[in-house]
């Protein structure tokens, strides 16, 4: 099937279709390649909850700030967490107020820092989906081996499958899904088989080039129009049906699942991962946040954006009071956040 044929087909007449791309990297590529403009107006692409920073609760930011303000404690975080609003302030604002926050490029930096500064305790802000969770597990393993006692892990780790299950169960309008690419490398394409079966929605696992995404959309459109609901792995060079056994073993060895609160969405059962009993001694209070559903009332509509109910430009604050420089919600902050991606690609 050549690309010209696919483009012609996708621009042609279709039934109304809503296809969710779950992952922020796909959203970014869709904009970069102008894919929306190539589709029939009846094929609507909506973005999903594939940005871990966007769903991290305000109470987690508050807890991170609490550690950073504690004498002899240092919070290590990736840069995209810095501007995420907590209940009162962001990590960036807390740092300006004297909190000890350092940006890391890899969680492994904690090992060197902790060995060099035994008087300080390093709390690693661990936020992510299955893609990044094995790297945190590796640092726990190395911490255990090293005998260092001044490293702690503050986790907001989320499992994608329960979130997709939640979306399938609560939104009948979504016709099909472009599966999250990076997460699929860990979980494997067969991880979606249960959802296709239960909810009769097709899934396509796609790469990140424009062409990959167009082929996935074409595949999904054809599946829906032919009343099929299968998982098609269109990225077999990278994604295996069974996933990455080593990474999965790391996740299972160090973490156990439990309920978790997703900012803007609510509690999703079994969607969080927490250090298991054997390694709980390294936890910096993450498990205590599991049932914390407190949410500051704001006009931010990230929850609706994440669930594909509205586009970012339907939020009255988009591009006006909410910009990447002065974000009102996490979806505008992160490089994978839908509002931030829309802002970068649609604003001159």
Pick 47 or 77: Cβ nearer ligand SF4: 47
CB under 6 A: which stretch of 69-77, 125-133, 271-279, 301-309 binds ligand SF4?
301-309
Least distance (Å) from ligand SF4 to the CB of residue 35? 21
Nearest C-alpha neighbor of 158 from the set 183, 180, 127, 184: 127
Least distance (Å) from ligand SF4 to the CB of residue 347? 12
- Residues of this chain, 261-300, that bind ligand SF4 according to CB under 6 A: 300
Q: How far apart are CA 271 and CA 166, in angstroms?
A: 10
Least distance (Å) from ligand SF4 to the CB of residue 105? 25
Pick 43 or 331: Cβ nearer ligand SF4: 331
Looking at the DSSP bridge assignments, the partners of residue 273 are 157, 257
305: contact with ligand SF4 by CB under 6 A: yes
Dihedral of the alpha carbons of 34, 37, 42, 46, in degrees to the nearest 10? 30
Task: Tell how strand 255-262 and strand 266-275 pair up.
Answer: antiparallel
332: contact with ligand SF4 by CB under 6 A: yes
Q: How far apart are CA 237 and CA 2, in angstroms?
A: 19
Pick 145 or 320: Cβ nearer ligand SF4: 320
Choosing from 124, 164, 301, 308, the residue that interacts with ligand SF4 (CB under 6 A) is 301
Decide: 153 and 283 in contact? Cβ < 8 Å. yes
Looking at the DSSP bridge assignments, the partners of residue 203 are 177, 231
Pick 284 or 322: Cβ nearer ligand SF4: 322
47: contact with ligand SF4 by CB under 6 A: no
Least distance (Å) from ligand SF4 to the CB of residue 129? 20
- 3-class DSSP state for residue 53? coil
**CA angle (168 as vertex; 157, 162 as ends), nearest 5:** 20
Least distance (Å) from ligand SF4 to the CB of residue 339? 3
Pick 199 or 345: Cβ nearer ligand SF4: 345
Question: Residues of 81-118 as b/e, b for ≥16 C-beta within 10 angstroms?
Answer: bbbbbbeebbbbebbeeebbbeebeebebbbebbeeee
Choosing from 74, 219, 329, 334, the residue that interacts with ligand SF4 (CB under 6 A) is 329
Count of residues engaged in binding ligand SF4, rule: CB under 6 A: 14
- 3-class DSSP state for residue 125? strand
Choosing from 85, 318, 334, 341, the residue that interacts with ligand SF4 (CB under 6 A) is 318
Task: Tell how strand 43-50 and strand 121-128 pair up.
Answer: unpaired
Least distance (Å) from ligand SF4 to the CB of residue 330? 7
Interacting residues with ligand SF4 (CB under 6 A): 300-302, 305, 312, 315, 317-318, 322, 328-329, 331-332, 339
């Amino acid at each position: 099937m050549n690309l010209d044929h696919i483009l012609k087909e996708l621009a042609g007449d279709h039934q109304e279709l809503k296809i969710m791309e779950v992952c922020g990297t796909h959203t970014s590529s869709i904009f970069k390649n102008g894919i929306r403009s190539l589709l029939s107006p009846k094929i609507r692409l909506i973005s999903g909850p594939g940005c871990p920073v966007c769903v991290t609760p305000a109470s987690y930011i508050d807890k991170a700030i609490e550690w950073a303000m504690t004498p002899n404690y240092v919070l290590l975080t990736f840069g995209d967490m810095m501007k995420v609003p907590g209940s009162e302030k962001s990590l960036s604002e807390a740092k300006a107020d004297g909190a000890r926050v350092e940006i890391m490029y890899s969680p492994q930096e904690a090992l060197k820092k902790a060995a060099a500064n035994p008087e300080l305790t390093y709390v690693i802000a661990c936020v992510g989906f299955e893609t990044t969770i094995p790297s945190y597990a590796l640092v726990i393993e190395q911490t255990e081996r090293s005998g260092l006692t001044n490293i702690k892990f503050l986790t907001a780790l989320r499992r994608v499958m329960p979130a997709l299950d939640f979306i399938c169960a609560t939104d009948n309008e979504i016709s099909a899904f472009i599966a999250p690419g990076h997460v699929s490398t860990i979980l494997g394409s067969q991880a979606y088989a249960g959802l296709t079966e239960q909810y009769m929605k097709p899934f396509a696992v796609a790469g990140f080039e424009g062409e990959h995404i167009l082929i996935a959309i074409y595949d999904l459109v054809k599946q829906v129009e032919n009343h099929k609901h299968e998982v098609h792995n269109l990225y077999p060079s990278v994604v295996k049906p069974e996933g990455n056994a080593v990474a999965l073993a790391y996740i299972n060895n160090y973490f156990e699942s439990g309920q978790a609160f997703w900012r803007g969405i609510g509690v999703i059962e079994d969607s969080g991962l927490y250090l298991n009993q054997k390694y709980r001694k390294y936890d910096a209070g993450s498990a205590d946040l599991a049932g914390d559903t407190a949410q500051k009332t704001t006009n931010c509509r990230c929850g609706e954006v994440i669930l594909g109910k509205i586009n970012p430009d339907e939020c009255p604050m988009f591009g006006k009071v909410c910009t990447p420089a002065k974000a009102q919600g996490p979806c505008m902050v992160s490089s994978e956040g839908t509002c931030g991606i829309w802002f970068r690609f649609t604003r001159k």
